[in-house]
Chains A and B, each alone.
Chain A
Amino acid sequence: MNDLSHDQRVAGLKGLGSSRKRVEDARFTQGKGNYVDDIKMPDMLFGDFVRSQYAHARIRSVDTSKAVALPGVIAVLQAADLAPLGLHWMPTLAGDKQMVLADGKVLFQGQEIAFVIAEDRYICADAIELIEVEYEELPVVVDPFKALQPGAPVLREDLAGQTKGAHGERIHHNHIFRWEVGDKEGTEAVVAGADVVAEEMVYYHRTHPCPLETCGCVASMDKINGKLTLWGTFQAPHVVRTVASLLSGIPESSIRVVSPDIGGGFGNKVGVYPGYVCAIVASIVTGRPVKWIEDRMDNLMATAFARDYWMQGKIAATAEGKITGLWCHVTADHGAFDACADPTKFPAGFFSICTGSYDIPVAYVGVDGVYTNKAPGGVAYRCSFRVTEAAYFIERMIEVLAIKLGMDSAELRRINFIRKEQFPYQSALGWEYDSGDYHTAWDKALNAVGYDALRAEQAQRVADFKAGKTRSLMGIGLSFFTEIVGAGPVKNCDILGMGMFDSCEIRIHPTGSALARLGTISQGQGHATTFAQILATETGIPADQITIEEGDTDTAPYGLGTYGSRSTPVAGAATAMAGRKIRAKAQMIAAYLLEVHDNDLEWDVDRFVVKGVPERFKTMKEIAYAAYNQAIPGLEPGLEAVSYYDPPNMTYPFGAYICVMDIDADTGVADIRSFYALDDCGTRINPMIIEGQVHGGATEAFAIAMGQEIAYDEMGNCMTGTLMDFFLPTAWETPHYTTDFTETPSPHHPIGAKGVGESPNVGGVPAFSNAVHDAFRPFGLTQSHMPHDHWRIWRIANQLGLHG
């Protein structure tokens, strides 16, 4: 190794910036992944739910006699069986509580009523068919505005008389909270006196993260040693351990939670679901391992919807287009229980990032959370908490304002961007944006797509359309977004009281390879690959010789898990900091070995070199060996480090996305001609993985904007319970993406990285939606709600009178 050049040594590390191939792939491509449903234990039982057919009903009776008589059925659990343990209800992450099994009534279709435990999944399914539930139907409310009317049915009888919830006052029996940020009076005064005000209701519909693997777990209570082991699809295994301990009274030291390989999460696997609780109880009761795996219909109907925000906005500007104020009120449909997975003090997540990338002097946001007869959830579907709602809102409001001003919306964005020299920038709603260079990114994006030529082509197309020469319209969808990711800091971000730090523990072995364990968990982001790259650069140990482990609470240090793009900003920082601790000790060891003072050494890729004497050095490999075989005065043997990283601030990735589509006015079919995505996620750890994340996130955005929704009828029937009705794009309709980047490091992150996994969803949805709107702008459209499926696009054309 010593004969290699500096550059060869850097390349050999496969550290930061290298498109290192993924270490996970060998097992996944050979079918050797280990997902929760692959776990098989001797004597294992299977559990599954009887679910409610009604959206709102009292449960008169549940007759389990035929089911219990079926050979192979072990037991059927109901709320009354869980009540003595205090487990028929469970706390949610949002400070509310949720029924584990129906306690007298059901509040949404698909709600869990009884848990059947049987020898295998077939017997379980047979038994569920044999259980007879008698319901008394109650009036249903699926519309959050109707839910808040004076005579609306009372959904949560358990909260009767409670005028205070976890987030302050409740003003109505179906009201959950009101959350307000910013200067209401000041904003209203600006709006009242503005040259121009654009006002619009922007709805971001209900959808679902729908990872390809559904949720599930295996619970195994070992009665001999009193240890509970829980394998499951958990995006935050340590939090699950803490919650399991608080609920069950079993000490945390006797609970082991393991997240094995996870088949995609996207927010679906953050929450705690009744299935986990029931599997644990069932294992305790039977003394046998119990597996619970959702089927797809359970998944779409009962666990973790996302969005469902009705956002009323007013944006004020001067006649020249300089924005002077932003006002927003959200009616947030949370379903039957408030089970959002947001940091405790943020019942609407980080929605107040809704001033976006613009320098807006004054702003106000108010959010009212509402109960309806729909499934609980409100998770961050591939975005940081409620950030995609915020980005969609502001990017639609910009377009609506541009229409009002008669301006090009690219130019309107440009004159309102926060300028480079304003960073760190204090937003009107209280955030400190760490770094950015929006103008550079925007110009690069517009040039890359040939924006002016596209506008000229579009004008010609409109003229041809009006002249009857074509039936095709063209939309140019612009989007510029700023994300806020990487929660902590601990001082204002916690989940159930757990500060949102993250952690890394490193052991360097005597022969110079290493093991690092983290508090996060990969669900496809390739942590085993990228975290090793961070460490390689920090410690000079080749990434190929660093093993990364996550997801087992018995071995990994406590961490808050992976969601909200927090792994790179928080655990990535912890990894770098732990690596630096290793290096600091290594420097002392090297100084001893080379018989010089610490300060006489400098770091060079993979070694400490005596300053000015390049031939005198000790490589990390040599140092590691010495750490274990030499008695060094004043130093403990060994080479290990732990870091718990509490980020000083969040990070603010940003980007510019542009979508061009052709729309057939007669069929409503939208053909995505091109999609350009420029991302600035600060320092780039692995460009190949970043590009993959952008492709995947943009495809989820495409799905959401163009067809995917969780829909209910007036009776509260979920109409989108299978993949027949719930749109997941195939390779055939998914567009081709062009990716690009600028690189503005985060000044407060040890390696300057900001996180990227969720940006394409946040920025992609407005790009697709704005393209649809833009196609119809010349004909008078200002706002039409997503998803823009063919029928809805056809309807826009029809309502604008384009069908003659």
Chain B
Amino acid sequence: MSKMHLKLKVNGKSVETLCEPRELLIHVLRERLNLTGPHIGCETSHCGACTVDMNGMSVKSCTVFAAQVQGAEITTIEGLAGPDGMGVLQTSFREHHGLQCGYCTPGMITRAHRLLQENPNPTEEEVRFGMAGNLCRCTGYQNIVKAILHAASELNASKEAAQ
């Protein structure tokens, strides 16, 4: 199949690659751009392991074709770290034991990042509902929810301090 010239902005950097239009975004990211943070758990939009941020929205990159992303701005887990390593969400997941095998974690944190942009002050219910597209087989979610709520309050506190 003939290849297309794909230009994207990924984690703030302009990147280009050649790929088939039918290639899934998750494969473009993982195999062509070597961003192996987002994972594959189902390839059918159910598990959320492949979640990335695309043009300001959470998407499941296993069900997006390369042909659909020309010129898109994409953020993966690799782009969420703060300048000195772990960002607020990442630290909060660690502090609250919000991960075990770590396989769902990049998708979880990427989704949580967008959720907190959409709703900076969510209730526990809103977190549970807003994260329902991301499956975890290890943690039972309780500590993930805790980690996100805690990150929200930290982010809000630092926003206030900055004002």
Contacts and interface: CB of A to CB of B under 8 A. Distances in A.
Interface of A: 21-22, 24-33, 35, 37-38, 40, 121-122, 210-214, 261-264, 266, 295-296, 523-526, 688-689, 691-693, 695-700, 722-724, 728, 730-732, 734, 736-737
Given A213-B41, A730-B135, A731-B128, A21 B94 contact: yes
In order of increasing CB-CB distance, the 4 nearest A-B pairs are: A31-B37, A28-B102, A524-B101, A263-B103
Contacts of A22: 94, 97
B20 A692 contact: no
Contacts of A30: 37, 77-78, 81, 85-86, 90
Interface in B37-51: 37-44, 46-47, 49
B26 to A, nearest CB: 11
Contacts of B93: 25, 29
B73 interface: no
Given A28-B105, A732-B128, A732-B132, A122 B97 contact: no
Interface centre among A213, A262, A525 (most CB of B within 10 A): A213
A33 B77 contact: no
Interface string B76-100: 1110010001100111011101011
B141 A699 contact: yes
Contact of A28 (B30, B99, B141): B99
A731 B145 contact: yes
A121 B44 CA distance: 16
Contacts of A295: 43
A212 B136 contact: yes
Interface centre among A213, A263, A736 (most CB of B within 10 A): A263
Interface centre among B40, B100, B103, B109 (most CB of A within 10 A): B100
Contact of A524 (B39, B133, B138): B138
A212 B128 contact: no
B50 to A, nearest CB: 11
Given A29-B94, A263-B101, A296-B43, A723 B135 contact: yes
B104 interface: yes
B143 A695 contact: yes
Contact of B141 (A266, A697, A722, A734): A734
Contacts of B89: 29
A31 B86 contact: no
Chain B's interface size range is: 35 or more
Nearest to A691: B97
Contacts of B47: 212, 296, 723, 728
B153 interface: no
A724 B78 contact: no
Contacts of B39: 35, 37, 212-213, 263
Contacts of A32: 37
A213 B86 contact: no
Nearest to A722: B44
B42 A692 contact: no
A296 B77 CA distance: 23
A264 B142 CA distance: 18
B94 A25 contact: yes
Contact of A122 (B22, B36, B38, B138): B22
Interface centre among B27, B46, B89 (most CB of A within 10 A): B46
A213 B103 contact: yes
B137 interface: yes
Contacts of A24: 102
A25 B46 contact: no
13 contacts: A30-B37, A31-B38, A213-B103, A214-B41, A264-B101, A698-B140, A699-B139, A723-B44, A723-B47, A730-B133, A730-B141, A732-B132, A734-B141
Given A25-B93, A30-B90, A692-B143, 5 more contacts: A31-B38, A31-B76, A33-B105, A37-B30, A211-B101
Nearest to A760: B140
B144 to A, nearest CB: 7
A31 B46 contact: no
B137 A25 contact: no
Given A31-B36, A524-B138, A724 B97 contact: no
B35 interface: yes
